[in-house]
Structure 1
């Protein structure tokens, strides 16, 4: 499943980047996870009269008439009849001789496409499929429809997806709870993918169960990865940053208001995590104005009172400056030094800040991505705070955390 897309027949150097753009990856696995957006029912209806205006239908009828266009802008028209009703096929800018060859008068044809109403008649413009039932093959009973990008047709993407299914082993062990699989009526992993990419029949309920099964697999894989990451972190040693009740009381006494119960509870959990010898990885979530900055300031005070530095990273210079001003207002009266570091600092200012971070005289620094540049070194980084964490990639957060052996990390959203 993890072979490159170019391992599929028909995918060469020109088509490979187009498929990568569509699937967001470069492996067969990425293609398999590019699931159809919907499925078209192309089963042949018994009668033309059963066709519903505004829906795709596959209909069978005898060629009743051919009407040539009366102007350059009018279409060629083929009329099919099956004893219950008529269906007009419209072809614009088509070759009349080719059409007459495709639709001989009196011969049966099967067509599939969107049925519309025009001048009170059923009409299908440029059918998706035209089949001589005496020769076949018939249109597929169900057709998966994919999201596309320039340079790819639905038929081509579908053919590649069907090819990709052959790269999945048939004997993959079931990793989900067997009782859950049975209770939900789920297919196996490969059967669910096959049901969506290469369905044999049109069954919306089965499609939904297959999608649900794959969604569960995705969630389970993500949670398993998180669990492994947590287990790995638990084995790493982190600096224990004990809570300083005296320092926190000094911060709270300087406030013109009392922290809310939610702020107090959030900090108690954060403080306990920072006191442990395993690296904290915690998210602080709240609406704008909910008081997340105060909680992060309390965490920074805990770090500073124990001799550790805090790096506060924001996605923009404006936000970094705002966080600097807030932190400076809260922490400077307590004797802690706060600085701001962005990409627009003058050389002399930047040099002074870098020296303060390196010798430990700056306790808290607020900045942008400039914080994880190679020239930035901390004397004793113990806490990393990331504001609007969704605007940073995992690699960005890890680059900043890499400025110390195993710092605690608080992300805010």
Structure 2
């Protein structure tokens, strides 16, 4: 969550607040609160109703409430854990307050007859209804008024900063706001607020930190209150404007205008044993129009698994290569980059285009030779991994950057490759591809600076994939199914996944699985591929599998993308509950690439949680990548779906792309108007909501 500035003047320091010294200010920075303005934009994530006292006798388990009563007793109880048990009673009943962490002074506060007011959640315990570690204070008299005329806010907190401390600081900031000591700049034009019936900024912040007890709480809980909608709109608008500013900044540099090609694309197509689909031809035409403009192309190509994105990229590259420029294609993994190198080399080398490879594991003479070919321009089509943006890589005349599976790259990696292409003040064109279909609401927000093309047609002859979910207690049956399929001439994948991030553990799991399967199926030819194998070893295993010299390939998720073996018709995915839907869909797409009926077995561990059951049901129900992506967004949310290194979407404070999808069209319209009619409001609005984190929105 980025810092913000809410007025033109220097933001007021947190140390202006009573009780805030250097140490507390440093702790608040962990919450991205660097000024009093930031504090006001640190909004509650829920509210508690402490505006009325609930009789003890009417309290229900699971209910949070304010209670008031007299202490009947306070005893130290020795059980599994030592605790202080305080009996509290009123005219309607009795309950216990239990403290596991307490001091002698605290115990002495609970003298019989003392009046206590407390707040907490009632649970069933050893002594009946109990509240564990309630917030409480002693009363001077039984008729002391309730201090809370408003709902009590609950804020995102961090270690060392309690809710009472945050509320006390917030009260000071709000008092300063009301007294005019903290002038607020409302960055939305006045006529907009009237047109869309939006409350003013000061009114909005006061309401959200101190909502009256009479408010409709379901509105607040669902993010539908006008005050929330006002800030949701503003935050989404800031993200949209950030994307628009990024696009304008890139396109201000200009790019080489690449004329439509005649010879190279036609020659490439003549060498293929198939004809491009209508969808592929349409997307290639859209790209060709972009390339012919003197502005950097910024185009995202979405296509489901097996829709033929590689051919689209090759035809785009052909237009640029024919004009005498170089093309760089960057893929996120060695295995995918190698696959592209093989395919593109097979298509382009016969046409006189020299292809070069540069991977992270390229060493010695091979690397030196590739670098020389790239810098001299001898290599025209360059394929590689993140190694392409390393400091010693110099292009002679880079005209097009193609980025595959872009959400897997860190932002700086992508920008570094783009910046390498600058020639005479011109930037290279950018073509970004993904086989992970992006839901429309997410694309409109996360990729607002990109034009989008969709390959919505699969090549003819693809067979549907039957997907079943089977508990791992039936593992012997699954092994038998693999045996039968391979005996009939088919090939199969067995994919091992681990929840641990450790590549070493994943590889170890794959090795153990391969060993077990070799013992169970000694007559089958079984190969193993994982991330710790050398590039040459992986390539050799994959080549053997493709040539049907192996029947079964045991692998980690490194085979998620880039593997095309039409004869493989069975895939087993272990522990599918540990993966997101998009990744499962990608893995499943490794089969069904030929005309043979294909199957995918999701071999899950029991018991399954609710979310895991949802995921597996979606996989059984559909093979539509866009439907699956929508479901993935609903289940996991945008931040996780795009990856932790992607954009500023995980930084959203009040907006929720799934819940607030209906606002996106309005936000796009507002961004367009603000950009052209109120340009002076753009930078302050972006700064307020994104601050320094805006750079993470770049693609």
Query: What TM-score, normalized by structure 2, do the two folds share?
Result: 0.53
Name the CA distance, whole Å, in 1 between partners of 2:407 and 2:45: 27
For residue 366 of structure 2, give the secondary structure of its aligned residue in structure 1.
Answer: helix
- The answer as to 2:184 corresponding to 1:170 is yes
Name the CA distance, whole Å, in 1 between partners of 2:187 and 2:274: 58
Higher relative contact order (CA 8 A, sep 6+): 2
- The answer as to 2:57 corresponding to 1:49 is yes
Q: 2:154 aligns with which of 130, 139, 145?
A: 145
Q: 2:431 aligns with which of 403, 410, 413?
A: 410
Flag the 1:150–1:221 CA change in 2: closer, same or farther, 3 A.
same
Q: 1:192 aligns with which of 204, 214, 221?
A: 204
Q: 2:196 aligns with which of 181, 204, 210?
A: 181
Name the CA distance, whole Å, in 1 between partners of 2:372 and 2:206: 60
For residue 367 of structure 2, give the secondary structure of its aligned residue in structure 1.
Answer: helix
For residue 49 of structure 1, give the secondary structure of its aligned residue in structure 2.
Answer: helix
Q: Is the 8 A contact 1:116 1:123 kept in 2?
A: yes
Q: 2:366 aligns with which of 339, 349, 360?
A: 349
Name the CA distance, whole Å, in 1 between partners of 2:58 and 2:200: 36
Say which one has the larger Rg: 1
221-230 or 51-60, larger mean C-alpha shift: 221-230
Flag the 1:400–1:171 CA change in 2: closer, same or farther, 3 A.
closer
What is the CA distance between 1:224 and its match in structure 2? 2.0
Match of 2:399 in 1: 382
For residue 87 of structure 1, give the secondary structure of its aligned residue in structure 2.
Answer: strand
Q: Is the 8 A contact 2:86 2:110 kept in 1?
A: no
Query: What TM-score, normalized by structure 1, do the two folds share?
Result: 0.85
Q: Deviations over 1:194-247 (max 9, x none)?
A: 433444437422462233332211111122222333344444321101121332
- Between the two proteins, the alignment pairs up a number of residues equal to 407
Q: Is the 8 A contact 1:131 1:139 kept in 2?
A: no
Match of 1:83 in 2: 91
Q: Deviations over 1:75-107 (max 9, x none)?
A: 5444333322223333446457754544441x5
Name the CA distance, whole Å, in 2 between partners of 1:346 and 1:93: 59
Identify unmatched segments of 5+ residues in structure 1: none
Q: Is the 8 A contact 2:73 2:110 kept in 1?
A: no
- The answer as to 2:348 corresponding to 1:331 is yes
Runs (4+) of structure 1 moved beyond 6 Å? none
Flag the 1:159–1:130 CA change in 2: closer, same or farther, 3 A.
closer
Flag the 1:30–1:314 CA change in 2: closer, same or farther, 3 A.
farther
1:2-401 alignment, distance < 5 Å:
2=5, 3=11, 7=15, 9=17, 13-16=22-25, 18-23=27-32, 33-63=41-71, 65-69=72-76, 71=78, 75-92=83-100, 94=102, 98-105=106-113, 107-118=114-125, 121-132=128-139, 134=141, 138=146, 140=148, 141-161=150-170, 169-175=183-189, 177-179=192-194, 181-182=196-197, 186-201=198-213, 203=215, 204=217, 205-206=219-220, 208=223, 209=225, 210-401=227-418
Q: Deviations over 1:329-379 (max 9, x none)?
A: 222222211111123222322222222222222111112222223322222
356-365 or 139-148, larger mean C-alpha shift: 139-148
137-146 or 314-323, larger mean C-alpha shift: 137-146
What is the CA distance between 1:137 and its match in structure 2? 8.0
Name the CA distance, whole Å, in 1 between partners of 2:271 and 2:228: 55
Match of 2:480 in 1: none
Name the CA distance, whole Å, in 2 between partners of 1:126 and 1:29: 33
For residue 383 of structure 1, give the secondary structure of its aligned residue in structure 2.
Answer: strand
Q: Is the 8 A contact 1:76 1:96 kept in 2?
A: no
Flag the 1:89–1:351 CA change in 2: closer, same or farther, 3 A.
closer
